[in-house]
Every structure is written in structure tokens, then in C-alpha cells.
Amino acid sequence: MKKWQCKVCGYIHEGDEPPETCPICGADKSKFIEVAFEEKVHASPEPETETASPEAGSGEESRHEKFLRIYDMVTALMTEHHLHPISVHIPNGVLPLSVFFAMLSVMFGAAGMDIAAFYSLIYVLLAMPMVLFSGYNDWKRRYGGNMTNVFFTKMICGAVVFCLALILVFWRLINPEVAASSARGLYLMIYFVMLGAAGVAGHLGGKLVFGKK
Ligand code: FE
């Protein structure tokens, strides 16, 4: 029995041939390499694109080079200390609560619930830029920036959550009575779509971290 390792996520497949696509990250067959039976190979992502290397400056470091060096140092620390999963848990705990409050406000016309939904959603919105940036950074650093269907779906879901939260917050700002208006069905539906997108992104993230189980 041969062993094949996905170069993007590190998944190990046992069989005579590598799988058509990686069941964890969706990378295709070409990303698999055969590994010796007891060899422990750490996932070393293949970069899809070359990262911009600072021009070989002579002597003094320009402001741009200094910025790149600090950016590189900070983003490496972000990945090393798992800032993406940490930052994801901040809005992910509050988002279902916001949906729950919105549901109660639409169903029972409870003004207090409407305010609770609105403020919790603002909190979600404020947390999203760090979620998106740390996710992008992990994709580049941990998975070599390989664009498989799994990463593509995660990015779309993140963008959907951010955009829908933005729409809902602005809608509520423009029309504070929206939860009691005739458009309340659509308003609530957007909340549910946003929750669904966060769920899909979380599910795929869990698969990448914990494997197939
Ligand atoms: Fe993989």
C-alpha cells in the first residue's frame, strides 16, 4: 500500500493511486506526492504565485522595504499564533444570537429584541475585517495560496457574511422600524443566509484543521 500526501493541506491518502481530489482541501491529484511508509512529512504548501520579493536594495532600507519587512513579521506571527481561528470565534458566537434576537423581534414585534439584534450585528461587523484578513493570511502562509474549491468557498462565505451584515446594519439605520415593516420577511431571511454562510465557512475550516472526521 502506497501513501500519498497532499502538498497543500498535508492530508495522507493510502492507496495505489492518489485520489482525484483531496477530500480535505479540494486540491487536485497533481498536488499529491508519494511518501515513504514511515516518513513523516510536514505539509509544505506549494506557492501558486511568487510572493513579491523586495528589490535588492543597496545598503539603506527604503520605507517600502521596511513596511514589507514589518508586514511579513506581523503576518507570520498571526499564523503562528492561530489568529484566524481565534478571531473567527469572536463574531461566530454573537452571530447566532443576533439572528435569534432578530427572529424574536420579527415574530413578536419586541422592540428590545430588535435593538439587541442590531447592536450584536454591529459587533459582528466590526469583528469581520480581522476574520477576513487573518483568513487570507493563513491561506497564503499555511496553504501556499492554492485556490481550490474549499478555499474559494470559504472566501465567498466570508464575503457574504460581511456584505450581508453591512446591508442589515445600514437597512436598520435607515429604517429603524424595518423589523415591524412589510419587508420584515426579507430582512429576517438575510439574517438566516448570513448565518448559513458563516456555518459553511466554519464547517470547511473545521475540516481543514481536524481532517476528515
Ligand atoms: Fe489537501
The domains of the chain are located at 3-35, 82-210
The three cell numbers locating residue 184? 420584515
Q: Which residues of the chain fall below pLDDT 50?
A: none
What pLDDT, on a 0 to 100 scale, did the predictor assign at position 211? 84
In the reported structure, the alpha carbon of residue 32 is separated from the centroid of ligand 1 by a whole-number distance in angstroms of 8
What pLDDT, on a 0 to 100 scale, did the predictor assign at position 48? 60
The three cell numbers locating residue 192? 438566516
In the reported structure, the alpha carbon of residue 195 is separated from the centroid of ligand 1 by a whole-number distance in angstroms of 26
For 163: left if phi > 0, alpha if psi spans -120 to 50, otherwise beta; the answer is alpha
What pLDDT, on a 0 to 100 scale, did the predictor assign at position 160? 98
What pLDDT, on a 0 to 100 scale, did the predictor assign at position 61? 81
Query: Rounded CA gap, 28 and 181, in Å?
Result: 49
What pLDDT, on a 0 to 100 scale, did the predictor assign at position 1? 81
What pLDDT, on a 0 to 100 scale, did the predictor assign at position 179? 95
What pLDDT, on a 0 to 100 scale, did the predictor assign at position 162? 98
What pLDDT, on a 0 to 100 scale, did the predictor assign at position 45? 63
Q: In CATH, what number does 3-35 get?
A: 2.20.28.10
In the reported structure, the alpha carbon of residue 10 is separated from the centroid of ligand 1 by a whole-number distance in angstroms of 6
Query: Rounded CA gap, 111 and 145, in Å?
Result: 45
| pTM of this structure | 0.84
- Other beta carbons less than 10 A from residue 208's beta carbon: 21
In the reported structure, the alpha carbon of residue 90 is separated from the centroid of ligand 1 by a whole-number distance in angstroms of 27
In the reported structure, the alpha carbon of residue 146 is separated from the centroid of ligand 1 by a whole-number distance in angstroms of 10
Query: Rounded CA gap, 163 and 124, in Å?
Result: 11
In the reported structure, the alpha carbon of residue 37 is separated from the centroid of ligand 1 by a whole-number distance in angstroms of 19
CB 158 within 8 A of CB 132: yes
3-state secondary structure of 1: coil
What pLDDT, on a 0 to 100 scale, did the predictor assign at position 157? 98
In the reported structure, the alpha carbon of residue 8 is separated from the centroid of ligand 1 by a whole-number distance in angstroms of 5
In the reported structure, the alpha carbon of residue 152 is separated from the centroid of ligand 1 by a whole-number distance in angstroms of 14
Residue 174 CB partners (closer than 8 Å, separation 6+): none
Query: Rounded CA gap, 188 and 182, in Å?
Result: 11
30 half-sphere exposure, CB direction, 13 A CA radius? 4
DSSP H or E run through 189:
helix 184-210
